[in-house]
C-alpha cells in the first residue's frame, strides 16, 4: 500500500452545523501533506477524525502505519519535568528513553525544569518529542508552529525535514503559507468543510493563470501591469515604450504568492 492516509467522503456535523461536507484526500507514504484553511474551515475536526479522536457521521478513513500525534493544544501536569514525562510516555510505549533519546529529541537543555516553567516553544518541542517516542511511521501535527518565535519555527521546520528524511509521513494542519510552501510536498485547501484544492504548491500557482504582475522602471518613473500571458504582455509593453522613445531601466515579473492564490480560492480578503 503506497498511501498512509485515505479519507473518502468524510462528513461531520456538530448539531445542525455541518463542518465537513464530504472531504476526500489521500496522503502518500513518506510525504509531508498540509491541510490548509482559515479559522473554522474544519482542519482540526478533519485531523481529529483521522486520528480516531472524534466520531464522524459518514465516510471512510484508513490509516496505514504506527501513529504519533501532536494536538493543537495539550497540557501536562504543572510540576512534571520533561525528563519524567519522557520516561512516563516511554514506559507507555514500551520503549527505552535514555539520555541519547533526550538529546536526539532536543530537550536536554530544559529536561529538568518543571512543565509550568517551559516556554511555548519548549512545550511544543516536548509534545513533539512525546509524539515521537513510539517511533511512529505517521505523524499528525495540528498547527505545529503556532505561537512560536522565528527561532522556534526554524528549529521545528528543521525537525520536520529531518523526520521526512527518515521516511516518516507527516500530515499537518497550518494557516501559514510560507511554512506549507517550504515544508510540504502537497496541500489540501479547505473552505467551509469542502476541499477547494489538492495538489502541490506549484500546481496551485499554475492553476491561477492570470496572476503575473509586471513592474517596469523607466526614466520617467515606475509602473505596474497585470497580465495573463506574460510573453505577449512584455512584447506589447516594450514596443509601446520604444514607440514613445522612453528608455526602460528595469523589469520585474512576479507570479503571485501562494498566499494570494489561497486568498482567491478561499474568498478571503487580503489584509
Ligand atoms: N466540539 C465542537 N462542538 C461544536 N462545534 C465545534 C466543535 N469543534 C469545532 N467546532 C466548530 O466547527 C468548525 C470547524 O472547527 P475546526 O476547529 O475544525 O476548524 P479549524 O479549521 O481547525 O479552525 P482553526 O484554524 O481556527 O483551528 C468551527 O465552526 C467550530 O466552531
Asked if residue 228 lies in contact with residue 210, where contact means CB atoms within 8 angstroms, the answer is yes
* Main-chain dihedrals φ then ψ at residue 148, nearest 5 degrees: -95, 150
Ligand 1, atom 10: closest residue by C-alpha = 14
pLDDT grade, residue 257 (50/70/90)?
Answer: low
* Main-chain dihedrals φ then ψ at residue 256, nearest 5 degrees: 90, 145
Listing from the earlier edge strand, what are the strands of the sheet with 3-14? Answer: 17-28, 3-14, 58-63
Mean pLDDT to the nearest integer, 204-221: 78
Q: Report, in this order, helix, strand and coil percent for the chain, each rounded to 5.
A: 35, 30, 30
Centre of ligand 1 from the C-alpha of residue 1, in Å: 32
Q: Is the ipTM of this complex over 0.90?
A: yes
Mean pLDDT to the nearest integer, 156-161: 87
Centre of ligand 1 from the C-alpha of residue 102, in Å: 34
210 pLDDT above the threshold of 60: no
145 pLDDT above the threshold of 90: no
Centre of ligand 1 from the C-alpha of residue 248, in Å: 52
Q: Which residues line ligand 1 (CB under 6 A)?
A: 14, 19, 37, 39-45
What is the separation, in whole angstroms, between the first and last Cα of the chain? 43
Mean pLDDT to the nearest integer, 139-152: 85
pLDDT value of position 140: 96
| Phi/psi-derived region of residue 249, left when phi > 0, alpha when psi is between -120 and 50, beta in every other case | alpha
Q: Are strands 3-14 and 17-28 parallel, antiparallel or unpaired?
A: antiparallel
Ligand 1, atom 25: closest residue by C-alpha = 39
pLDDT grade, residue 270 (50/70/90)?
Answer: very low
Residue 195, all three cell numbers: 476541499
Mean pLDDT to the nearest integer, 224-232: 82
Tens-place pLDDT, residues 94-114: 888 767 767 766 788 888 899
Neighbours of 40 (CB within 10 A): 13
pTM above 0.95, yes or no: no
- Specify the ligand 1 atom closest to the Cα of 44: 22
Centre of ligand 1 from the C-alpha of residue 75, in Å: 19
pLDDT value of position 269: 47
pLDDT grade, residue 262 (50/70/90)?
Answer: confident
For a mutational test of ligand 1's pocket, the pick from 11, 13, 14, 268, i.e. the residue with the most ligand atoms closer than 8 A to its C-beta, is: 14
Ligand 1, atom 13: closest residue by C-alpha = 40
Tens-place pLDDT, residues 51-102: 999 999 999 999 999 999 999 888 999 999 998 999 898 898 888 876 776 7
206 pLDDT above the threshold of 80: no
Residue 259, all three cell numbers: 498566499
Asked if residue 184 lies in contact with residue 32, where contact means CB atoms within 8 angstroms, the answer is yes
238 pLDDT above the threshold of 70: yes
Amino acid at each position: 500500500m503506497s498511501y498512509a492516509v485515505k479519507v473518502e467522503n468524510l462528513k461531520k456535523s456538530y448539531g445542525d452545523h455541518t463542518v465537513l461536507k464530504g472531504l476526500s484526500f489521500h496522503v502518500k507514504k513518506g510525504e509531508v501533506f498540509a491541510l490548509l484553511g482559515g479559522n473554522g474551515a474544519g482542519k482540526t475536526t478533519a485531523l481529529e477524525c483521522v486520528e480516531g479522536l472524534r466520531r464522524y457521521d459518514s465516510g471512510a478513513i484508513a490509516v496505514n502505519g504506527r501513529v504519533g500525534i501532536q494536538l493543537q493544544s495539550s497540557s501536562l501536569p504543572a510540576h512534571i519535568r520533561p525528563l519524567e514525562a519522557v520516561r512516563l510516555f516511554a514506559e507507555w510505549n514500551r520503549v527505552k528513553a535514555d539520555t541519547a533519546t533526550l538529546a536526539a529529541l532536543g530537550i536536554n537543555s530544559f529536561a529538568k525544569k518543571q512543565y509550568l516553567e517551559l516556554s511555548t516553544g519548549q512545550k511544543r518541542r516536548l509534545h513533539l518529542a512525546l509524539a515521537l517516542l513510539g517511533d511512529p511511521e505517521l505523524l499528525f501535527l495540528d498547527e505545529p508552529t503556532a505561537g512560536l518565535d522565528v527561532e522556534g519555527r526554524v528549529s521545528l521546520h528543521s525537525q520536520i525535514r529531518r523526520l521526512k528524511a527518515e521516511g516518516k509521513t507527516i500530515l499537518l494542519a497550518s494557516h501559514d503559507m510560507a511554512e506549507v510552501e517550504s515544508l510540504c510536498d502537497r496541500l489540501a485547501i479547505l473552505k467551509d468543510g469542502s476541499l477547494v484544492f489538492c495538489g502541490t504548491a506549484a500546481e496551485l500557482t499554475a492553476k491561477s493563470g492570470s496572476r503575473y504582475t509586471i513592474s517596469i522602471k523607466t526614466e520617467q518613473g515606475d509602473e505596474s501591469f497585470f497580465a495573463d500571458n506574460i510573453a505577449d504582455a512584455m512584447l506589447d509593453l516594450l514596443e509601446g515604450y520604444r514607440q514613445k522613445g522612453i528608455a526602460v531601466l528595469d523589469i520585474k515579473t512576479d507570479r503571485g504568492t501562494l498566499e494570494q492564490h489561497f486568498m482567491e480560492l478561499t474568498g478571503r480578503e487580503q489584509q
